[in-house]
Structure formats: structure tokens, C-alpha cells
Structure 1
Amino acid sequence: MTLDLILIGLAITLEPFPVMAFILVLSADKGVRKGLAFILAWLACLVLVIACVLLFTGGTPPKPNTAPSTLSYAVKLAIGVGLILYGVHRRRKTARPRRDPESTAKRHNVSPWSAAGLAVLLQPWGLVAAGAATVMKADMSHAASWLTLMLYCILATASLLTMELYATFWPDAAGAKLTALRAWMTGHQDQAIVSLSLLLGFWLVGRNIYELV
């Protein structure tokens, strides 16, 4: 469980589109406060999903070779296949027009509430679902499971937290460097999405085929 959640958390935090949108939120007037609203909503989604899974399992992992256990592996296998198909599709369609985070942010006027709404809208829900299926294996009677879930949430938010702290304590330097980062990501977001989707997709497929067999 731990390794899977670490990889999923890293994939979530490296998703380029939310990062680009977050940079625009930070660049708005009183951007640090609006960035905090974005982060809190982002974290709230992760915690809510985890809480729902733990309520379903009672904090006890399903026994091996039972229907809930098989369902967990099957869900992650399906998500892995979906990520691979999406990565291949995205690779073939890199020239098509795509949504612009800047226009999205402008449509929402970048108020604190709209920043929170953007966080919910831009959450990579496919990856979050993979994390939820993995959390089914958590045994909450062990402190290690609590630490793993905390690490997962921190990793999934690490890029946003880093930029928020940077903009808070070094606002002058952050403005220029984050703008440059967004410009670089604009030209490389397709490659990043394809790579993340394929790498995590193949990992989930291989890992869960092995578990099912």
C-alpha cells in the first residue's frame, strides 16, 4: 500500500494543469490568500475521499481472496488501463486545442471561493480514485497506516504547498520564477501528462494483475 500511495501522490502533485492554474491564482491580487483557499479545498477533497473509504471498510483491510479485496485490485487495474489509454490518446492528439488555465481562472474571477472551486474542478479524479482503491488496504489499528495516509496527502499537495510558501516568504522572487515555470510547463504539459499517465498506468496494471493472479 505504501509504495502505491507514494507513486499516486507524486503523480497527483506533478499533474501540470492544476499547477499552472495554481500559479495563476497566486498571481492574482491577494494571491497568497486565494492560494490558501485552493490548497484547503484540494486537501479537503483528498481527506473526504479517504474518510469515505475508511467508513466503508471500517478501517480494516478486506481479507485476501474476498469480494472486497478482489474489487480493490480490479478497480485499480481498470484505472491503470484507463491511464494507459488516455496517455496513448493524448500522445496522438497533442496538436488539438486544449483548455487554457488562464481563461479558466478568468472565468472564475479568482476570488477565494472560486479558487476553492477550481481546486475541486481540477483535482485529477482518476488518480484520486486509484488512491481511494489503495486506501481500502489500510489497517487503521497500526500507526504506520496513519503515517502513510498523511504522507500521501502531503505528497499529493507538495507542489502547491511549495509554491504557496515561496510566494508567502519571497513574493518578489516568486512572481517572476513562477511565471517562468508556467511558461515552461505550457510548452511541456502534454509530454508530462503522457509520461505520468503511461508510467503510473503500467505500474497499476502490472501490480494488480500480479495480485489478482
Structure 2
Amino acid sequence: MVLDLLLIALAITLDPLPLMAFVLVVASKRGVWKGLVFILSWLACLVVVIALVLTLTGGQPPSPRAPASTAVLAVKLAIGVSFVVYGEYRRRQLVAARARGRGPEPPSLTSEADRSSVWASAGLAVLLQPWGMVAAGATTVVSADLSHSTTWLVLFAFCLLSSATLVAVELYVVLAPTQAKARLLRLRAWMKAHQQQAIVIICLVLGFWLTGKSIYQLTA
């Protein structure tokens, strides 16, 4: 469970679309407060999902051969396969776009960030949450055993790592507000140019890992 959760958390924190949107949020007017609300809403989504899963399981993982355990592995397998399919689809799009001599234009969800309210940032965090990856994390949390103290540490680490890039950007804006805006906007421009490649790599790596692990556990 530990390795799976940390890998999923790493994929969440490296997802370029939420980070690109967050850069615009913190670079806008009242960006520090908007960024804080964004992070709190982001964390709230993760905590709610984990709490719902633990409520359903009672903090005790199902036995390995129980129907519930098999169903969870089947769902995780389906999520893994969907990541692989989506990653390959985006890779083909990228190859086709390069053949045409231009990169694909990703949708812009944050063009009105400067005029948005603080509370709109909370809704944006929910909208941009990579729910497919969060769902993969939820299927992994099913095997969490709350009778062990280390489980709480792993769940805390999952939430922290999933938000690490957002927290780092927020701290940078707080500690160095003068330099932060220009540098973060340059970072966003670089990320936009490499967004498609990052999505392909993250989806394929995470997808193949979840697919392979689920198949192994189902057939072992």
C-alpha cells in the first residue's frame, strides 16, 4: 500500500494542469489568499475521499480473497488500464500535432484568474483535482489498517506529497513576493510548452504500474 500511495501522490503533485492554474491564481490580485484557499480546498477533497473509504471499510482491510478485495482490485485494474489508454491517446495526439508542425492547444481554465474571487479558487481546486488519480488512491486506501500507527503517517504523507508543489509555490510567493510573480509566470510558460509530454509520461507510468500490480494480485 505504501509504495502505491506514494507513487499516486507523486503523480498528483506533478500533474501540470493544476499547477499551471495555481501559478495563475497566486500571481493574480490577492494571490496569497486565493492560493491558501485553493490549497485548503485541494486538501479537503483528499481528506474527504480518504475519510469516506475508511468509513466504508471501518479501518480494517478486507481479507485478500474476499469478494470485496477482488472487486477493489478489479476497479484498480480498470483505472490503470484507463490511464494507459488515455496516455497513449495523448501521445498519439502529440505525435500528430508535431507532424503538423504545431503543438496541441490545451484548454485554458484559468484565464479569468485575476478577476476571480477568493472563494472561486476553492471551486477551481475541486474542478482541477485529478479525480482519476484520486480514485486510484481511494482503491489503495481500502487496504489501510488503522490499527497500525504507521498507517496514519502514510495517509498524512499521501496528502502532504499530493499537495507539495502547491505548498512550495505558495511559500515562494509569501517569502519572495517581488521575484515570485515574474518567475512563476515564466515557469508556467515553460510548463505549458511541455504539458502534453508530462501528461503522457505520468499517465503511462502510473497506468502500467497499477495495471501490472493489480493483475499480479488478482492472479497470485
TM-score range, shorter-chain basis?
over 0.9
Number of the residue aligned with 1:199: 205
* Counterparts of 1:81 and 1:90, CA distance in 2: 14
The alignment partner of 1:103 has SS state of: coil
Amino acid in structure 1 at the alignment position of 2:21? A
Mapped partners of 2:67, 2:112: distance in 1: 42
Task: Report SS of the residue matched to 1:52.
Answer: helix
CA shift for structure 1 position 104: 5.9
Tell me the residue number matched to 1:2: 2
SS at match of 1:162: helix
1: distance between equivalents of 2:109 and 2:57?
A: 37
Query: Aligned pair 1:22/2:22, yes or no?
Result: yes
Correspondence for 1:99: 107
Q: CA deviation at 1:71?
A: 1.3
Superposed CA deviations along residues 135-192 of structure 1, whole A, max 9, x for unmatched, are 0000001101000000000000000000001101111121122111101001000000
Tell me which of 150, 153, 161 is aligned to 1:155: 161
With normalisation by structure 2, the TM-score equals: 0.93
C-alpha distance in 1 between matches for 2:200 and 2:47: 27
Aligned to 2:218: 212
Q: Tell me which residue corresponds to 1:61.
A: 61
Give the Cα separation in 1 of the matches to 2:67 and 2:113: 43
* Aligned mates of 2:174, 2:20 — CA distance in 1: 18
Residue of 128, 139, 145 corresponding to 1:139: 145
Deviation at 1:28, TM superposition (A): 0.9
8 A Cα contact 2:6 2:158, kept in partner: yes
- TM-score computed with the length of structure 1 as normaliser: 0.96
| Alignment-derived partner of residue 121 in structure 1 | 127
Contact 1:20 1:101 in 2 (8 A): no
Question: Gapped runs of 5+ residues in structure 2?
Answer: 98-103
Q: Distance in 2 between matches of 1:116 and 1:192?
A: 25
Segments ≥4 residues shifted beyond 4 Å: none
Task: Letter of the 2:211 partner, please give it.
Answer: V
Deviation at 1:75, TM superposition (A): 1.0
Aligned residue type for 1:203: W
Comparing 64-73 and 145-154, the one that deviates more? 64-73
The superposition leaves residues 28-73 of structure 1 with CA deviations (integer Å, 9 ceiling, x where unpaired) of 1110000000000000000000000000000000111001111111
C-alpha displacement of 1:91: 1.1
Structure 2 CA distance, aligned partners of 1:99 and 1:123? Answer: 15
Instruction: Identify unmatched segments of 5+ residues in structure 1.
Output: none
What is the aligned length?
A: 211
Note if contact 1:46-1:153 (Cα within 8 Å) is conserved in structure 2: yes
Letter in 2 for 1:45: C
Shift in alpha-carbon separation, 1:86–1:105, aligned structure 2, 3 A? farther
